[in-house]
Structure 1
């Protein structure tokens, strides 16, 4: 049986940002980690709904000029990542496909079975190395979403600030003072 032919071939060197333009627009998430292409299948409706609710909660609490974007790329050392939600500073240039880490105040990753290891280990290390000051990882617990809040510490790593579950809304300072209440998001 003949193998399917795709309209692109891997480069003869490590993957670069410009190579992403040649990949099919098929709903997959294409990210580059240390010159290797990582492909994640499209997330399901529940994942997108939760990411939308997180984005809305952040937008409603944001000061003028701050932007809260779904699935914009962020440049990191050795590659490019696409968080589920990114908070951009008011000074961030508009109309860019890839944000510079200095323009990012917070990234949020909503865990899926296909992204769990990357969201827990690979991505936080790269965001921290890039200097992104805050990282939230959101898991779906048995009783609703749980947010693991991290802040950038010395030596380019994150320090856990705490967890916030659906029954314990708290005041947070990142990316700005607001009440974080996962109980208002879908289970």
Structure 2
């Protein structure tokens, strides 16, 4: 006898950020790990597609470099949600957050914008519109000061770096980096973009 999978149904009033902690991470019938990496953007539940090797390498190496260079009061993390509003709980690829917030609750499943100083999204084919348009808009509206978007250009990472304009609560492009990235904020950071994908 074949058992049909039971995927979660959309609640009557749509998904909320609180719903994410109630969805099983085991997928239908506990058979697969399909719902382990999900996020909520504009009230839509997004199930992430399998990542490419480029995506994995850049995320891991970027997080490691940001962590290595971070001052003691900050720490870098990967794939942790940010609770922005009732229908907004995006999951950036890499974030730099307050170390005290990270240490305060090891059972946490998300951070709040006040804890976050930088978010970085590594763009993949399935996430282009979200990473280029929807998520940056929500991060800016939430007051997160620094946003990086990293694109795969012929197998090489290119970083688009943005800083929040507090008057308009939108991001302004401050630089495009192809091989080497060197910035004074949110803390002094210097890294080889080329090495992120090697």
| TM-score (normalised: structure 2) | 0.84
Select which of 82, 86, 91 maps to 2:95. 86
Once the two structures are TM-superposed, the CA of residue 34 in structure 1 deviates from its matched residue by 2.8
Aligned pairs (5 A) from 1:8-157: 8-20=8-20, 21-25=22-26, 26-28=33-35, 29-77=37-85, 78-92=87-101, 93-95=104-106, 96-142=108-154, 144-153=156-165, 154-157=167-170
In the alignment, the residues of structure 2 paired with residue 51 and residue 15 of structure 1 have an alpha-carbon distance, to the nearest angstrom, of 27
**Which runs of 5 or more structure 2 residues have no equivalent in the other structure?**
27-32
Kept in 2: contact 1:172–1:180 (CA 8 A): no
In the alignment, the residues of structure 2 paired with residue 27 and residue 68 of structure 1 have an alpha-carbon distance, to the nearest angstrom, of 25
Once the two structures are TM-superposed, the CA of residue 37 in structure 1 deviates from its matched residue by 1.8
Aligned residue-pair number? 184
In the alignment, the residues of structure 2 paired with residue 112 and residue 165 of structure 1 have an alpha-carbon distance, to the nearest angstrom, of 18
Once the two structures are TM-superposed, the CA of residue 59 in structure 1 deviates from its matched residue by 1.2
Once the two structures are TM-superposed, the CA of residue 162 in structure 1 deviates from its matched residue by 0.5
**Which runs of 5 or more structure 1 residues have no equivalent in the other structure?**
none
Larger mean CA deviation between 91-100 and 155-164 belongs to 91-100
Kept in 1: contact 2:79–2:94 (CA 8 A): yes
RMSD: 2.0
In the alignment, the residues of structure 2 paired with residue 179 and residue 102 of structure 1 have an alpha-carbon distance, to the nearest angstrom, of 25
Once the two structures are TM-superposed, the CA of residue 4 in structure 1 deviates from its matched residue by 4.1
| TM-score (normalised: structure 1) | 0.89
